[in-house]
Amino acid sequence: MRVLVTGGAGFIGSHVVDALRERGHDPLVYDIRRDPHADVRYPAAVAEALVGVDAVCHQAAMVGLGDGVADAAEYVSRNDLGTAVLLAAMAEAGVRRLVLAGSMVVYGEGRYACALHGVVRPGPRAPGDLDGGRFEPRCPVCGDALLAGLVGEDAPADPRNVYAATKLAQEHLSAAWARCTGGSAVSLRYHNVYGPRMPRDTPYAGVASFFRSALARGEAPRVFEDGRQRRDFVHVRDVAAANVVALEAPSPPGALTAYNTGSGEPHTVGEMARSLAVACGGPDPVVTGEYRLGDVRHITADSSRLRADLGWRPETGFHEGMREFATAGPASE
Q: How many residues does the chain have?
A: 333
Q: CB-based contacts of 134: which residues, under 8 Å, 6+ apart?
A: none
Detail the DSSP E strand segments found in 173-212. Answer: 184-190, 192-194
Q: What is the pLDDT of residue 94?
A: 98
162 within a domain of the structure (yes/no): yes
128 class by beta-carbon count within 10 Å (0-12 exposed, 13-18 middle, 19+ buried): exposed
144 within a domain of the structure (yes/no): no
Strand order in the sheet with 97-103: 26-30, 2-6, 55-58, 97-103, 184-190, 255-261
119 within a domain of the structure (yes/no): no
CB–CB of 233/317 below 8 Å? Answer: no
Quote the CA–CA distance of 6 and 10 in Å, as a whole number: 9
Percent of the chain with pLDDT over 70: 96
Q: What is the pLDDT of residue 332?
A: 46
Q: What is the pLDDT of residue 67?
A: 62
Confidence of residue 53 (pLDDT cuts 50, 70, 90): very high
Confidence of residue 333 (pLDDT cuts 50, 70, 90): very low
Confidence of residue 331 (pLDDT cuts 50, 70, 90): low
256 within a domain of the structure (yes/no): yes
Q: Which residue has the higher pLDDT, 329 or 110?
A: 110
Quote the CA–CA distance of 93 and 222 in Å, as a whole number: 48
Question: What's the whole-number average pLDDT of the chain?
Answer: 93
Q: Is the pLDDT of residue 329 over 70?
A: no
Distances (CA, A) of 261 to 14, 109, 194, 326: 18, 17, 13, 23
* Residues forming beta bridges with residue 254, ordered by sequence position: none
Across 324-328, average pLDDT: 88
Quote the CA–CA distance of 106 and 171 in Å, as a whole number: 10
Across 238-248, average pLDDT: 98
Quote the CA–CA distance of 330 and 278 in Å, as a whole number: 19
Across 236-263, average pLDDT: 97
223 within a domain of the structure (yes/no): yes
Question: In angstroms, what is the C-alpha Rg of the chain?
Answer: 20
Across 209-214, average pLDDT: 90
Q: What is the pLDDT of residue 245?
A: 98
Q: Which residue has the higher pLDDT, 134 or 295?
A: 134
In sequence order, what DSSP letters do the residues of 114-146 get, joined into one string?
ETTTEEE---PPPHHHHHTT--S-B-TTT--B-
**CATH number for the domain including 163?**
3.40.50.720
Quote the CA–CA distance of 212 and 273 in Å, as a whole number: 8
Q: Is the pLDDT of residue 202 over 80?
A: no
Across 13-17, average pLDDT: 98
Q: Is the pLDDT of residue 205 over 60?
A: no
Q: What is the pLDDT of residue 199?
A: 85
Q: What is the pLDDT of residue 295?
A: 86
pLDDT tens for 72-85 read 999 999 999 999 99
Quote the CA–CA distance of 333 and 291 in Å, as a whole number: 30
78-115 b/e (C-beta count within 10 Å ≥ 16 → b): bbbbbbbbbbebbeebebbbbbbbbbbbbbbbbbbebe
CA 116 to the chain's CA centroid:
33
37 within a domain of the structure (yes/no): yes
* pTM of the predicted model as reported, rounded to 2 decimal places: 0.93
Domain that holds residue 207: 2-110+151-327
Q: How many domains does the chain have?
A: 1
pLDDT tens for 82-139 read 999 999 999 999 999 999 999 999 999 899 999 999 999 998 889 999 999 999 999 9
Quote the CA–CA distance of 213 and 108 in Å, as a whole number: 28
10 within a domain of the structure (yes/no): yes
Give the residue among 105, 16, 108, 107 at the shortest CA–CA distance from 60. 16
Strand 2-6 and strand 26-30: the pairing is parallel
Percent of the chain with pLDDT over 90: 86
pLDDT tens for 141-190 read 999 999 999 999 999 999 988 999 999 999 999 999 999 999 999 999 99
